[in-house]
Structure 1
């Protein structure tokens, strides 16, 4: 579903445009709002929650920028190509890309993981990034400030039991990011990776309950060295920095955002 209402129409205004996957809620929503406050028009992809996507669109537009939301399964190459083409038609440009869409695996061992589960999780994290990059790069090459940020996880640096699909998906995502950084530097495109630890989102709450029995991730604040679990806004700040002109000499890098504890804090 594409939202046809775009606020603050101004044909003379040429704001930079960021395409964000998983933008409907949680970390993606926070990233969209942070970049909107820097003047970026936002094209957001979301999987299925129309109500959350509409809420995000309205909040982003309240900052004074334009925003459209597009329903899209990033694991579907044809769907991604169609929506990137629509974004290009609607906005006329893409200056930045943030691949944030992600799903959790079911916590099974490798011996008990079905191939369909592996394909489902890797499809969103790694193939989703590939589909977005391969279709958006021609537009990014036209931008004077092109930047890509891939949202990974501290899990990519570990081998936690019962997490193979998610870990493999993130490792593949990071390898893709480093490859594109090397390939596209000559075209002025910077590619960096942000790897959060536990985040206080719906997914983070489920993880906190499963691992520690806490009601939600925020309940673990006191166990964090800096006094709180990472919030979506913290990730948004890191993404904004990597997209901004303040990081013009930074590409092919990986920044962890975890408040001093890469995984889930233990009692």
Structure 2
């Protein structure tokens, strides 16, 4: 499999969880990675240090994807520092608070939509000039299986991810002529900080490892298993794949 050797990849939410695993995977495959983080500078610095200790190249930039000013500053920084971009992975995410539609705070809805849909739209828009210059560019949107079944008490999150997927499907059609591949990866429950909070809130399970015996293949999905799919999608092995949505849930749904 041809790897992303020498390509530049930007991963939002790249300092932890699934985003960190994607950054590690792409760096191991030879890409130079830019990790975008919102506020945890320490975890971003540790992620960069770990990648560099393993022989990779990494940078960290602070930006909140729900802040239009931060999005603009991020694009300006990437353009100034690198002048190119080959891979863009939208992985930054937040959970909704588990309220019914009747009880949802409009401010919560606005923020969740901004993180999952409006921010990715703006970042993609601003970085399109760089992506279009690449011989091949890839944009991967990390969504969720939640859009398949839309459970109760999570409308903001479901709406945000559904809007993200609409953006991805539209972008794939618009930019195919520019050599861009656009795909969606939709995990189920993953062993991350957000996943652990989810199983505590929804199932009353305080240790996510308790779910291993009830999960496909004997374990809850790991961030690395999601990252492996992203690594495939941006490789030459996926040279004829675009506008696809790959579910990573072990066949749960």
Q: What's the TM-score, normalizing by structure 1?
A: 0.91
> How much does 1:64 deviate?
1.9
Superposition pairs for residues 1-267 of structure 1, below 5 Å?
A: 15-262=6-253
Separation (CA, whole Å) in 2 of partners of 1:51 and 1:261 = 35
Provide the rounded CA distance (Å) in 2 between the counterparts of 1:119 and 1:217.
30
CA distance in 2, matches of 1:216, 1:69: 31
Equivalenced residues, count: 249
Unaligned segments of structure 2, at least 5 residues: none
Instruction: Tell me if structure 1 keeps the 8 A contact 2:109–2:156.
Output: yes
| Structure 1 gaps, min length 5 | 1-13, 263-267
Deviates most, 249-258 or 90-99: 90-99
Is contact 2:143-2:187 (8 Å) kept? yes
Does structure 2 retain, via aligned residues, the 8 Å contact 1:22–1:45?
yes
* Partner of residue 6, structure 1: none
Shift of 1:156: 1.0
Cα separation, 1, equivalents of 2:83 and 2:124: 17
Distance in 2, matches of 1:87 and 1:43, equals 9
* Backbone CA RMSD of aligned residues: 1.1
Relative contact order, CA 8 A, sep 6+: which one is greater?
2
Q: CA deviation at 1:185?
A: 0.3
